[in-house]
Amino acid sequence: MEHIVRTNRLTKAFQGQEVVSNVSMNIRKGEIYGFLGPNGAGKTTMMKMMTNLVKPTSGEIEIFGEKLTPDSYHFLGRMGTIIEYPVFYDKLTARENLELHCDYMGYYNKKSIDEALELVNLIDTGKKKVKSFSLGMKQRLGIARAITTKPELLIFDEPINGLDPLGIKELRDVFRMLCKEYGTTLLISSHILGEIEQIADTIGVIQSGRLLREITMAEIHEETTNYIEIITSDCSKAAYVLTDKLQLNNIKVIDNQFVRIYDQHIAQSEITKTLVLNDVVIDSIHKRSSSLEDYFMQVLNGGGVRD
């Protein structure tokens, strides 16, 4: 598959202190790349280097198949970005800001401004100046601005900051739609794992300036373990029934509230039947795979003990 962004041993130091070290990252065309890392891990600096706001100390970046030099700027016309937090000319209205954006980008399809505002639910802001927008509204306007010109690559730094749950869901749908219908490639950074897990195709984990792992979601699903979780008021009895009657050894009781069964060979219906027959009240039972959170914590902890 063709790569849209590649970095090779990218390093950036500020006053001798490395904030990004030797990062080699590969973003494929048409995918959603989730960029995960705790605060201060170097995500924003990476994104700033990709947009040429910050120049690398060493290493190189290739975007749309071309190597970036300190004075390249044409590639920026094919990108939409929010870096750090969205900034606007806050004495202007949402529409005026987007109009300016289109003029600077050399994009003259004014209809797309309405489409973008509609997509992020900001079409009714009228004469309201951006100054009086809430953080969530600014965030959505930032996304509208980035997508108005239908760019090939979108770089979003923590795009769901300050959004309410409904807004988050809507955005998730927008991201998926952009990726599926327009073939846009998205690079989204976040420290909220659950979010990235739901939309990303590939995940890059960065900590202290180092890319610890770059892995596709499909691979993660293979790596992470599945289990059946039972919620019951009588955990000890349930555990006894499971070990004694069903000969299951690989189970775990958590906080005296859940029982997790890691044995893969037994059917959920069989477990339910046996527990009910032995008078164990089941509040709920379902199959779970350990979340990305567990995986992420593992990677980070693994990363933490390095030299």
Partner 1 sequence: MIKLMKLELRKFKIMGYIRGAAIANVIIFGFMMLMSYTPELDGTTVFRDYSTVFSMIDVFTRGTFIIFAAVLLGRFVIDEFNHKTITVLFMYPIKRQKIIAAKLMVVIIFTFICIVISMAFLSTVFLIVNAFTHFVPGELTMTLVMQQVVKLGFNALSACFMALIPLYFGMRKYSLPTTIVSSVIIVMLTCSNNGGGFNLNDFIIIPILLAFAGAAIGYMAIRKIDQIDIN
157 residue type, one letter: D
Q: How far apart are CA 291 and CA 298, in angstroms?
A: 11
Cβ at position 225, least distance to partner 1 in Å? 42
Residue closer to partner 1 by CB (options 130, 211) is 130
Cβ at position 67, least distance to partner 1 in Å? 16
Residue closer to partner 1 by CB (options 77, 302) is 77
Cβ at position 53, least distance to partner 1 in Å? 4
Give the DSSP H/E element, type plus range, for residue 236.
helix 235-245
Give the DSSP H/E element, type plus range, for residue 194.
helix 193-199
Cβ at position 177, least distance to partner 1 in Å? 24
Residue closer to partner 1 by CB (options 55, 67) is 55
| Six-digit token string for 271 | 């477990």
Alpha carbon separation from 157 to 42, 48, 66, 118, 270 (Å, rounded) = 11, 10, 23, 22, 47
Residue closer to partner 1 by CB (options 139, 232) is 139
Q: Contact positions toward partner 1, by CB under 8 A?
A: 48, 51-55, 70-71, 73-77, 79, 81, 83-84, 87-92, 100-101, 103-106
Residue closer to partner 1 by CB (options 75, 296) is 75
Cβ at position 70, least distance to partner 1 in Å? 6
Angle (nearest 5°) at CA 195 between 193 and 196: 70
Q: How far apart are CA 307 and CA 300, in angstroms?
A: 14
